[in-house]
Every structure is written in structure tokens, then in C-alpha cells.
Structure 1
Amino acid sequence: MHPATASSTGSRAAREPRVAYIVDDDELVRSALGSLLRSIDLEVRAFDSTEAFLAAPRADGPSCLVLDVRLRGQSGLALQQSLLQLGRPPIPIIFMTGHGDIAMTVKAMKAGAVDFLSKPFRDQDMIDAVTAALDSDARRADAERKLLALRSCWNSLTPRERAVTQHVAAGLMNKQIADRLGIAEITAKIHRGQAMRKMNSRSVAELVRKMEALGVVQEPHFA
């Protein structure tokens, strides 16, 4: 990735608000939690039901969900399963409950919950859990943006440039690549250089790492 691209990515991440969603049917809990999380400069969006949360738009920046297990209507655990089935972008979930048990905790954690806090909990425990969840979501979103940019770079390669990179990844030199593809050595060198430039790679090792990240490294087919 060019420095300018990396810089703009970092600037965008810095501008994006960090959002904590709260789903709890107790108004006092929503109010107290909202005040606590706003005190650490988070944007807070609170809902009294899972249905209201699902109907609301998702923020673009890092976010997490502080979710009560026992709710009127759909339970918190059921919402967790619904989010998985809907295929929405993953959101770190911090469960809270006054009636938790080991089986419930295990089920939530196996489904991807990042923490499970029993009421009453210390304010600092909630702050720590939410901060860790938001940091995790920011890293996930950044990794997805980088992979999307990398995919765009790969898609910009011509079929011949992709063929050359497959041979480069296999460890072949320009002369060997030229022989395999039935082209002049200088042509193989040009395609290789163009591919390296489009993939923003300064070395073969960097190019191969990016190809591996995209899952496009494969054994070249030798006719």
C-alpha cells in the first residue's frame, strides 16, 4: 500500500466515532451505562429491545454491543445467534446479566462473545471490556480495508501479469518464466515489474505474502 493510502486509512480511522450500543430493557441500566460510557468519550446508542437494535443502522466506525442476556421478547443469546445468521459485519458483544450461569457463559463465549459480566459489575470492568472490544473491532475493520485494497490491486493485473506472478511465487527466474509462457525474457521482466508496481510490492517476498493473504498462490500449470 502506498504511504498516502496508509495515511488516509489512518486518518479515516481517527475520524470515525467509536460507538457503544446498549440493549437492556431496564431504563435505569441504560441510563447509567450510557453516562458511564459517554464519560470516556464514546458515542452511545441505547435500545430497550433486540428488535429496536436490529432496526437501527450500524455505525461505520469501531463499535461494540453491551447486551443483557435476559430481555423481554428475544433474549440476548438469541440476538447473538440472529446476528450470526444474518451475516452482518461482526460486532464484539459484551454480555451482562444478573442471573448468569456457567452453561450460559460458555454458550455465549463459544458463539464469539468477548466478555460476560455479572451484575452488579465494577464501572472499571465495563470500561475495560468495552475499550478492548472497540480496539478489537477497529483492528478487524482495518484488516478488512487493507484486504479490500489488496484485492483491488490484484484485480488490476492483466491475465498475463497474473500468470507471471504465479511463476514468480513458485521461485522461477525471468528466463524460466519466459520459457514456460512462450514469451521473450524482456517481456517476462516487464510483466513482472508491472505486477510488482500494481501490487505495491518492493520485493518478491512482499509480493508473495500479499498473494498468500489473498489466497491466490497456486502451483503454476506447466503445459
Structure 2
Amino acid sequence: MTAHSVFIVDDDPAMRDSLTLMLRGAGFRARAFTSADDFLANLPEDKSACVITDVRMPGVEGPELVKRLKALRGDSWPVIVITGHADVPLAVQLMKAGVVDFIEKPFDPQQILDSAGRCIAALSGLEADRAAREAAQARLATLTKRERQVFDALIEGCSNKEIALRLEISPRTVEIFRAKVMTKMQAANLSSLVRIGMRIGDA
């Protein structure tokens, strides 16, 4: 079973049950909700998850649910939309709103499984990136004030000589601090350190 949940939001009991059984049978952790209102009122606490929703439902409809989820969870909750009322303007609107897939009814069940699988794979990548950023930030916090100054200068692309002039220390001292920074940040080389700096900057 996958580590991430797939939440199904559909007011059609038959479709809801069918999708839930199909996804669970394929190894997904699936849970269904009877409407967008029900889903929003009982929003799960998962940091990341995949959502499959219908477009036309009583109360809050699919497009509004997509908008609210984007505001609440950002890219951590990718949304797949299924609909029997497909039209080009709606599809474009939803894709621009951040929907990762737009599937028309009737659909091949494999379409749903493939789309959900891509969502989960993308989420696993996001989780790995997030964990790497958090680990890098924790290591960054262990740097002394001077080591942090050297780190920042290296990320900017400064040479040892330029760092020495900026910090008013000798190039040899810069080399010593640079070695400490590389060790503490667990960077094998300068390019690795720069990638770490970029990852922290994207956090």
C-alpha cells in the first residue's frame, strides 16, 4: 500500500464505491467523501495526498474545491478531475487552476490508476525534496557566524581570495573555514554545496 492517501470526492454512490474499491485493490490507500462540503468539513490532516473529484456536485462544485485546496495545501495535494460534462473552456480553466489531470466519463479504469500513480510518484518526490531541505536547514543552523559568512559567499560564487578581502581575513583562514563548512554541510565538493544552498533558498 502506498504511503500517501487518495481522497475521492463524488456525490454518486456507485462511482464513489467503484473508485474506492478499484484503488484499494490496486494498493492505494483510498477514502471517499460524499461531497466537497463533506470533504472540506472533515479535511484530513495528511501533509500530502492525491484528490479525485467530480465537477458537478450539490453545494461546492469541483472547480471551487480545486481553488480552495490550492489555497489550503498548495502543490502538496494534486487534484484529478473526472467529469461527464467535459468542455474545452472548463478543462482549460481547471488545468490553469492547477489540476494535474482531467478525465472524461466514461473512462478506462486504468486511466484513473495511472493518473493516481503519477500523482503519488510526484508526491514522493516532493516529500524527498522537503526532507532534504529540512536536513540542509538543520545542518546550516550548526554553522558559526563566520562559517555562515563563508557559506553565503561561496554560494554567491566568490573565490577564496574574494572572500578573504570581504571578511578581512587571510586566504589560508578562508580555506580552513571552507573545509569546516563543507564538512558540516556534508558537501563532497563546491557544486554539491551550491546545490544545497539553492535547495535551502527554494524552501
Question: TM-score if structure 2 supplies the norm length?
Answer: 0.88
- Asked if 2 retains the 8 angstrom alpha-carbon contact of 1:92 and 1:134, the reply is no
Partners in 2 of 1:176 and 1:85 — Cα distance? 44
- Asked if 1 retains the 8 angstrom alpha-carbon contact of 2:185 and 2:193, the reply is yes
| Structure 2 residue 36 is the aligned partner of structure 1 residue 36 | no
Unmatched runs of 5 consecutive residues or more in structure 2: none
Match of 1:149 among 110, 119, 135: 135
Partner of 1:219: none
Q: CA deviation at 1:41?
A: 0.9
Q: Secondary structure at the match of 1:117?
A: strand
Match of 2:187 among 194, 201, 212: 201
Q: CA deviation at 1:182?
A: 2.5
Partner of 2:198: 212
Match for 2:137: what amino acid? R
Partners in 2 of 1:178 and 1:103 — Cα distance? 59
- Asked if 1 retains the 8 angstrom alpha-carbon contact of 2:2 and 2:28, the reply is no
1:36-115 map, 5 Å: 36-54=22-40, 55-60=42-47, 63-87=49-73, 90-115=76-101
Percent of aligned pairs sharing the same letter: 34
Partners in 2 of 1:140 and 1:23 — Cα distance? 23
Match for 2:152: what amino acid? Q
CA-to-aligned-CA distance 1:69-118 (integer Å, 9 cap, x gap): 01110001101111122355631111011111111111111111111111
Partners in 1 of 2:112 and 2:74 — Cα distance? 25
More moved, 149-158 vs 117-126: 149-158
Partners in 2 of 1:197 and 1:96 — Cα distance? 50
Unmatched runs of 5 consecutive residues or more in structure 1: 1-14, 217-223
1:181-200 map, 5 Å: 181-200=167-186
CA-to-aligned-CA distance 1:126-163 (integer Å, 9 cap, x gap): 11111111111111121122112112222222221121
Identify if the C-alpha distance between structure 1 residues 210 and 86 changes in structure 2 by more than 3 Å, giving closer, same or farther.
Answer: same
Q: State the Cα RMSD in Å.
A: 2.1
Aligned length: 200
Q: CA deviation at 1:180?
A: 3.3
Partner of 2:147: 161
Partners in 2 of 1:131 and 1:86 — Cα distance? 23
Partners in 1 of 2:162 and 2:112 — Cα distance? 60
Partners in 1 of 2:172 and 2:178 — Cα distance? 10
